[in-house]
Amino acid sequence: MKIQLSKVCFGLPMKSFFMDYTVSKKRELPVVKEFVIRLIYSLTSTSLETIQDYFGFTSKEMLAIVDDLQEENLIEWESGKIKLTYYAMSKFSEEDGNLRPTFFEVTDEASPVEFELYSFRMLSTDVRRSGSQDFSVSLNLPDECYRNLLGKAQNAFDTNFSLFREVVLKEDVFSEIKELYKINQVSDRFDSTLPLEVEYFVDTESPNILKMKYVSNTVDDWDEEKAIFSLMDSTIQAEPFKDLYESLNEYLEVSNDPLLVQYWDDDARTLNIKAIANHYENGLTKLNDDTFMLLGNFYTERNRDILTSRLKLIFENKPDNSGLIWLTNAESKTWGKTTDLSKLVDEVYSFFDKRKKTSKVVLGMACESFQESMTLRNNFWKLSDAKLMDFPARFGGSNAEFMIIPGLMVASLFHAQLDDQRDISFPVGYVSFEPKFISEVSKKLLDWATQQPKYNDFFEKKDVEEGQKVRNKFFMPILQQSIDIELNQSLNFSVNEQPGISKTHVEEIKAFDTYESSESAEKSCQMALSEYKDIGESRLKNLTGSIKPSKLWDIAFYHYSHSDASKMHLDLLAYAGKQSLELIAVHLIQNTVGLASSGHLGLVKQSLISGVKSKLVELGLIDRIQKGSSTKDTESEKIERQVVMQLIGASWVMNQIGWLYELAQTLDISLDLSNEKPIKMVLQEYAQSKKLQIPQYDVVATSGPQHNQVFSVQCNFNNKITVGNGNSKKNASEDAARKLYKNLDISKSTTHNSNAQKICILPNDIYKWTKCKSYRVHEDIVQLFGIPKEIKSGVAFVPARLWKEYATSDGGNKTLAQLGVQLQQAIISRELIIKCIENDDWSIGEVYAGVSRELVSDEFYSEFNWLSTLIWREPFARLIPPEEQGSYIMSVIKALYGLSYLSMFEDNDCAPDIEKAMAYRPFMLIRESLNNDKYINKSGKDSKTQLQEVAQHLKVPLPIYEITQTEGEQHNLVFKVKCSFKGQITFAEGASFNNASQQAALVMLQKYKRKKE
């Protein structure tokens, strides 16, 4: 049996370079030119007339071809006839039994490339992204590794050019001939570290032998010879073996560990590790169901699951106590150097009722100097949900570690030493949920804490008040919860006698849990806004079918230009309209053809907007738009579009969006290949599939004044030529491509166009693409999202990579996740307006400006730890590589949101019941997040703008955003972006470069603010 003791992430120094180089690669001649050359080759020499008659060229065409061939030094004249030059003759070689000319050309290219500095090996994107740099042990390299880096990079790039093409550029090195011609220039980009996460474990057959392996299979394959293991070993060398007798006695005295004492070997002066492992494997280390042994650090995957699964059940009953005290083993070089530490902290913290002052996580660390505290702070500052507190000594001895949730749980570990030179302990201890163990250990900790002669408060800010220190504000109130003694007895010392605890703290303990929930204001959506004129609800009823009375309808018909209009009102309504429109468009597309592409999304949104505008004209409502007197007729279309978005937003907020679904089914919207992607992309893919030369685009004419030019672009493809016009080169080339596409009649050779489908919503459509083969999902998971039992919801748990094996819908949970993300954004925009209405204060919108852009992020999903445990019980969890576990959890949560939206149509095929869904916990979490300060962008500016202002204030270089990776299909890409600022790096992903860079900037801002604090 394998027993994981710990995980450690090592940071290997790496450096990024920018390579400017020249390559030699095969050049394909245009088909016509190649055929002419091959004809001349077969005839040795010939006349122009022979070539012209053979191919049917016009005189003009023949002369153009001859000019091109002469310019390229491929033909020459001799005695009035044409023959090939020696250069052209030398390029013929046999290919598939035929003699064909093969030419090469040199072209300049440039690309970033990363190398690790130990062995100077090239790094692929997969290796660089295999772990997190948040918690790591820096590997110490010899000085030689930092010398002559530019020369080393040049030599390594020259030697491994084929590997560079394969792992960095992702090129097919076998099908495309390309050789490095020369390296023009090598320049520095930035320094970074490569996270290498290692698992340390023992086998029960030989538990005294410490083993190690890479957590990531990608890294394991990359470091095939495990060359870096020796460097890791030398970095974490431990002190010589010491006698554990005294340390174990100290631990047993305060921990009340009922199991460990029996494994002490008095002759060897150490613990009998083999007996512990054997009993643990055979289930003999259990006092009862509530008290049993733990092996390995608390944050190992097995122990984390044990602790959080029990705590989840406990906190479902809403106990009075909350708050975690964790007396750590942070003095060890390797303790907590893994993201598993933050996972455990975040999961436990998620169980607490945040309204209570005791709902905090306090990490206690023995610390002897301010310099030592700075090192510890730098190691663990990313634990945003934890408060750091230093102690002058270590409770339970130098090898002890404790976790206590007063009244609910106590767990302790003794860090025994193996016969090994590395700083990796053999953690063994117990966890108990029995009141007697919890109470006794808590009392001992309180006595020990109050008897300390002095607290140095190294982690506290300068000049902080005594009552605001972590010790007095959080540690003591948390610990005091389960101590059944009089307050004055437990704190029988004054501030002067014991500087560790303040009088202020005594008063705080008496009132630490005095929170009283206030009832939210029960206000309807009626708004006392006299400046808005009544539009006429009878007309609106003809549009929407049935409306709730509200001033929101009236507001929706105003434009910014009107003197009575409030820009904040209209901005919020328009944004709600934008998000809900995208949600509905994605839903309609998915029910028709599956995953929504950007091309289809744009088509459906534009069709819906046009349909609403036509309906407003038909009902005479278009004339009711309130706009400023100075607006021009040329602005009408823009104004009408804005009002349509505001009207859709009002409908979404009022839970009256069903009319838009009904309208959609009356519109003639068909989805096929021609509108799925840009037509230029369609033509290019067609050319590649037929092994034809890709279309060529050339500007043939430009007309009109400089500020309003019209471009004419010629598209040449497969011996056909069309000319398109537009106000930009891009639009003109698209027009030319569209015309040529029609002329080619590609529909006969593609399945997409011939199967064009009209958009619609059919009854019970949900069942056709949510089925999952041979898989049953836990009902308690889907019921959290309000998904009926009869719906086959297993597909929400099927990762995209496994959909062919388990799911009947393309892409597994990818399609549902796409819908879920749109739903989250639409819900946020709706809840923000409702919050403004309930508080009768629309200025709230200024505080929350931009919040929806930042809310649904990795940090938001981390608050679903209460759900993560359930998800990992599912069979698919065991099929996910470790480096993909985080993204898999997010994809499942997003997919469950998407599935819940489909469930909203249970009672009405065309009217989702949003209010019904808001009663379920995941939706309430979105609502509650609007009250969480960490998601609020109080400046009203987006994250990139804020970060830029920080850089300007500090007078440092502006942040740099780079695309590190793109995934997915061309029409549905996911961008991964890196933000570099002041030597720090953050990563994020999104559906566009802008979204991903905004998220990366947000994470960088949070990192900067925490560091500043």
CB within 8 A of 109, min separation 6: which ones?
21, 22, 23
The strand ranges marked E within 178-306 are: 178-203, 206-214, 264-265, 270-271, 286-288, 291-295
Quote the tokens at residue 233.
């070993």
Q: 88-97, 504-513, 553-562: which range is least confident on average?
A: 504-513
Measured distance CA(94)–CA(990) in Å, rounded: 48
Q: For residue 536, what pLDDT is reported?
A: 53
Average pLDDT over residues 151-177: 84
Q: pLDDT tens digit string along 333-372?
A: 899 999 899 899 999 999 998 888 899 999 999 988 888 8
Average pLDDT over residues 567-588: 87
Residue 843 burial (C-beta neighbours within 10 Å; 0-12, 13-18, 19+):
exposed
Instruction: Give the pLDDT band (50/70/90) at residue 932.
Output: low
Q: What share of the chain is helix, strand, coil (3-state, %, to 5)?
A: 45, 20, 35
Q: For residue 150, what pLDDT is reported?
A: 92
The domain made up of 673-755 is a member of CATH 3.30.160.20? yes
Q: For residue 778, what pLDDT is reported?
A: 59
Q: 263-267, 654-658, 854-858: which range is least confident on average?
A: 854-858
Quote the tokens at residue 450.
């109050």
Measured distance CA(841)–CA(528) in Å, rounded: 11
Q: Which residue has the higher pLDDT, 183 or 1011?
A: 183
Q: Give the closest residue to 416 by CA, choosing from 512, 318, 329, 305.
A: 329
Amino acid at 163: L
Q: What is the CA angle 329-215-16, rounded to 5?
A: 95
Amino acid at 910: C
Q: For residue 496, what pLDDT is reported?
A: 35
Q: 77-81, 304-308, 524-528, 934-938: which range is least confident on average?
A: 524-528
The overall average pLDDT reported for the chain is 78
Q: For residue 524, what pLDDT is reported?
A: 32
Q: For residue 307, what pLDDT is reported?
A: 95
Cβ atoms < 10 Å from Cβ of 282 = 10
Percent of the chain at pLDDT exceeding 90: 18
Q: Which residue has the higher pLDDT, 840 or 434?
A: 434
* Contact status, residue 139 vs residue 13, Cβ threshold 8 Å: yes
Q: DSSP code of 327?
A: E
Q: pLDDT tens digit string along 48-62?
A: 889 888 888 888 888
Q: 194-203, 516-525, 816-825: which range is least confident on average?
A: 516-525
Q: For residue 349, what pLDDT is reported?
A: 93
Instruction: Give the pLDDT band (50/70/90) at residue 626.
Output: confident
Measured distance CA(291)–CA(883) in Å, rounded: 33
Q: pLDDT tens digit string along 845-875?
A: 665 544 444 455 444 555 566 566 566 555 5
Q: pLDDT tens digit string along 510-557?
A: 333 322 222 322 233 333 333 444 455 566 666 766 656 667 878 888
Q: Give the closest residue to 442 by CA, choosing from 498, 482, 389, 490.
A: 482
Quote the tokens at residue 154.
């040049």
CB within 8 A of 867, min separation 6: which ones?
781, 784, 893, 922
Quote the tokens at residue 202.
């023992």
Residue 414 reports pLDDT greater than 70: yes
Q: Give phi and psi for 76, each to the nearest 5.
A: -145, 160
The domain made up of 943-1012 is a member of CATH 3.30.160.20? yes
Q: Which residue has the higher pLDDT, 672 or 958?
A: 958
Of 125-129, 203-207, 768-772, 959-963, the range with the highest mean pLDDT is 203-207
Domain pair 537-671 / 943-1012, same fold: no
Q: pLDDT tens digit string along 464-497?
A: 888 888 988 899 889 888 653 333 333 333 333 3
Strands 386-391 and 361-366: parallel
Q: pLDDT tens digit string along 7-17?
A: 999 999 999 99
Task: Using the structure block, give the residue that is written with the tokens 């409030």.
Answer: 566
* Contact status, residue 327 vs residue 401, Cβ threshold 8 Å: yes
Q: Which residue has the higher pLDDT, 766 or 382?
A: 382
Measured distance CA(833)–CA(305) in Å, rounded: 39
* Contact status, residue 889 vs residue 861, Cβ threshold 8 Å: yes
Cβ atoms < 10 Å from Cβ of 815 = 25
Average pLDDT over residues 72-90: 86
Quote the tokens at residue 136.
């790591």
* Contact status, residue 799 vs residue 890, Cβ threshold 8 Å: no
Domain map (residue ranges) of the chain? 1-235, 245-510, 537-671, 673-755, 765-935, 943-1012
Q: 272-281, 457-466, 669-678: which range is least confident on average?
A: 669-678
Residue 494, CB half-sphere, CA atoms under 13 Å: how many?
2
CB within 8 A of 506, min separation 6: which ones?
487, 491
Average pLDDT over residues 106-123: 89
Q: 414-423, 444-453, 469-478, 694-703: which range is least confident on average?
A: 444-453
Q: For residue 734, what pLDDT is reported?
A: 84
* Contact status, residue 787 vs residue 900, Cβ threshold 8 Å: yes
Residue 777 reports pLDDT greater than 60: no
Strands 2-27 and 137-138: parallel
Containing 365, the helix (H) or strand (E) segment is strand 361-366
630 alpha carbon, distance to own chain's centre: 46
Cβ atoms < 10 Å from Cβ of 695 = 21
Q: For residue 3, what pLDDT is reported?
A: 93
Q: For residue 964, what pLDDT is reported?
A: 80
Q: What is the CA angle 428-430-433, rounded to 5?
A: 165
Conformation bin of residue 536: beta by default, left when phi > 0, alpha when psi is -120 to 50: left
Q: What is the CA angle 616-585-772, rounded to 5?
A: 150
Domain 537-671 classification at class level? mainly alpha
How far the first Cα of the chain sits from its last, in Å, is 45
Q: Give the closest residue to 69 by CA, choosing from 27, 28, 34.
A: 34
Containing 403, the helix (H) or strand (E) segment is strand 400-405
**Sheet with 984-990, side-by-side order of all strands:** 960-967, 974-981, 984-990
Q: For residue 878, what pLDDT is reported?
A: 61
Classified as helix, coil or strand, 756 is coil
Q: How many helices (H) and strands (E) does the chain have?
A: 41, 29
Q: DSSP code of 472?
A: I
Average pLDDT over residues 676-699: 79
Average pLDDT over residues 951-971: 74
Residue 375, CB half-sphere, CA atoms under 13 Å: how many?
14
CB within 8 A of 326, min separation 6: which ones?
298, 345, 361, 362, 363, 364, 386, 402, 403, 404
Q: Taking the model in full, what pTM does it have?
A: 0.47
- What pairs with residue 626 in β-bridges? 558
Helices (H), 381-497: 435-450, 470, 476-480, 487-490
Q: What is the DSSP string of 532-583?
A: SPP--HHHHHHHHSS----HHHHHHTB-TTSTT--HHHHHHHHHHHHHHHHH
> Which contacts (CB < 8 Å, 24+ apart) does range 718-722 have?
718/687, 718/692, 718/744, 720/744
Classified as helix, coil or strand, 407 is coil
Q: Give the closest residue to 544 by CA, choosing from 917, 535, 907.
A: 535
Q: Give the closest residue to 798 by CA, choosing from 822, 819, 823, 777.
A: 777
Residue 779 reports pLDDT greater than 90: no
Percent of the chain at pLDDT exceeding 70: 77
Q: For residue 362, what pLDDT is reported?
A: 94
Q: For residue 793, what pLDDT is reported?
A: 61
Report the C-alpha dihedral over residues 662, 668, 671, 672, rounded to 10 degrees.
Answer: 160
Instruction: Give the pLDDT band (50/70/90) at residue 120.
Output: very high
Measured distance CA(798)–CA(251) in Å, rounded: 46
Containing 299, the helix (H) or strand (E) segment is none
Q: Give the closest residue to 401 by CA, choosing from 473, 454, 344.
A: 344
Q: 261-275, 842-856, 938-952: which range is least confident on average?
A: 842-856
CB within 8 A of 269, min separation 6: which ones?
243, 244, 245
Residue 319 reports pLDDT greater than 80: yes
Quote the tokens at residue 243.
């006698």
Helix 301-316 × helix 339-351 angle, to 10°: 10
Three-state secondary structure readout of 341-361? HHHHHHHHHHHCCCCCCCCCE
Q: pLDDT tens digit string along 130-148?
A: 766 677 888 888 888 988 9
Residue 774 reports pLDDT greater than 60: no
> Which contacts (CB < 8 Å, 24+ apart) does range 734-737 have?
734/678, 734/679, 734/680, 736/697, 737/679, 737/680, 737/682, 737/683, 737/695, 737/697
